[in-house]
Structure 1
Amino acid sequence: MKVLIVYYSMYGHIYKMAQAAAEGARSVDGAEVVLRRVPETLPQEVLEKMGADHAQNEQADIPLCTVEELGEADAVIFGTPTRFGNMCGQMRQFLDATGQLWMQGALVGKPGSVITSANTQHGGQESTLLSFHITLLHQGMVIVGLPYSFQGQMTTEEITGCSPYGASVVAGHDGSRLPSDNELAGARFQGEHVAQIAKKLTA
């Protein structure tokens, strides 16, 4: 049973959440977990001007995902930062190349799940997750969120991401806030939850 985690992370927030989701998925017996990133579309000089080159270098050892790998997986967890309430352009470009998978029905019946980040609590986390689900529905995937059995999403003791639509991060107005323990726990829970469902569907 293969769980593919494919993400884009400009400043490293989603990368850390993807790692936590991978940890959770690996806790399920029989799960092979593969971490991949989507190709960058911005020139290196632009990334340097945006202060994103350090985070990009940190992820350099993560292989780029191919469209074919999506079809080979038994479940896919996607990770994307929020861009005006929607997925980032890098992820959109990658998914726009999956027409052949759609024609083949290669993703029909497979669990699909999403993790995101935004600068503020109300910066588009939930709309990004929900609008991402539209693409998964077109591919015939079984959408998996973050159930309320992860009780960390109900806390009012701290500022935190995570909702029933998926785990998320509040990155702060300047992007300096890294994922909290609670947010990482949400991603870990979601990874395990997806793997458990994939295990049942492939049994």
Structure 2
Amino acid sequence: MTKVLVLYYSSYGHIEQMADAVAEGARAGGAEVDIRRVPETAPKEIVEAFGFKTDTAHPTIESPDKLGEYDAVVIGAPTRFGRMPSQMAAFLDTTGGLWMKGALIGKVGGAFTSTASQHGGQETTLFSIITNLLHQGMTIVGLDYGFQGQMGVDEVRGGSPYGATTIADGDGSRQPHEEELAAARYQGKRIAETAAKLKG
């Protein structure tokens, strides 16, 4: 069976919800799925002062070497000034050993994100994640236009051909819309199906 890892960092729970949806989609695509988060690197006083979400059902990933055990890795992180946050960057900076061994070459990768506003850096954040995956030799699967829910301007909506997204608003009050969660499921399913084809 194809194995998929959904790896994420979430400060306020938006990306955690998207990670669950990506995992649902990957399972619907026939994969065995694990969800892991990267370690929090912000000082405890910052975490407390800004009200970061610290309760989660998902364990922290044990080591970067675990990525090599999967056929596909989907990475989710919110934006920080148009790029991935330092917590995810710090983890990805430890994957040099995998790169040296070519451990992820030919495997499938994908990305998803959240921003405060519609123009808050969704695509640049996705690319900041995808760049890492390309350097590892992975085949990228985004959110293709087979998912029509990302089209239209009748309401605020996330979605990009480069990956599923959600919009949190400046105070984090907007939670992922059902259509955004459906986009994450769609991308997760496509990633699982693509990984199965490449593996087979």
Q: Report the Cα distance in structure 1 between the residues aligned to 2:129 and 2:7, rounded to whole angstroms.
A: 13
SS in 2 for 1:56: coil
Q: Report the Cα distance in structure 2 between the residues aligned to 1:135 and 1:37, rounded to whole angstroms.
A: 17
Question: Which residue of structure 2 aligns with residue 125 of structure 1?
Answer: 122
SS in 1 for 2:22: helix
Return structure 1 stretches of 4+ with deviation > 6 angstroms: none
Say yes or no: does 1:35 pair with 2:35. Answer: yes
Question: Which residue of structure 1 aligns with residue 80 of structure 2?
Answer: 83
Residue 10 of structure 1 aligns to which amino acid in structure 2?
S
Residue 171 of structure 1 aligns to which amino acid in structure 2?
A
Cα drift, residue 28 of structure 1: 1.9
Question: Which residue of structure 1 aligns with residue 59 of structure 2?
Answer: 63
Question: Which residue of structure 1 aligns with residue 48 of structure 2?
Answer: 48
Cα drift, residue 155 of structure 1: 2.4
Tell me which moved more, 112-121 or 124-133: 124-133
- State the TM-score, normalized to the length of structure 2: 0.97
Cα drift, residue 157 of structure 1: 2.1
- State the TM-score, normalized to the length of structure 1: 0.95
Work out the number of aligned pairs and report it: 198
Q: Report the Cα distance in structure 1 between the residues aligned to 2:33 and 2:154, rounded to whole angstroms.
A: 33
Q: Percent identity?
A: 57
Question: Which residue of structure 2 aligns with residue 109 of structure 1?
Answer: 106
Question: Which residue of structure 2 aligns with residue 16 of structure 1?
Answer: 17
Residue 64 of structure 1 aligns to which amino acid in structure 2?
T
User: In 1, are the aligned partners of 2:79 and 2:113 still within 8 Å (CA)?
Assistant: yes
Cα drift, residue 93 of structure 1: 0.3
Give unmatched runs, 5+ long, in structure 2. Answer: none
Cα drift, residue 44 of structure 1: 2.4
After superposition, give the CA deviation of every residue in 1:43-82 in whole Å (9 maximum; x if it has no partner): 2221110011xx211x1x3111121111111000000000
User: In 1, are the aligned partners of 2:23 and 2:33 still within 8 Å (CA)?
Assistant: yes
Cα drift, residue 184 of structure 1: 0.5
Give unmatched runs, 5+ long, in structure 1. Answer: none
Question: Which residue of structure 1 aligns with residue 190 of structure 2?
Answer: 193
After superposition, give the CA deviation of every residue in 1:120-147 in whole Å (9 maximum; x if it has no partner): 0000001111222111111111011000
Tell me which moved more, 66-75 or 11-20: 66-75
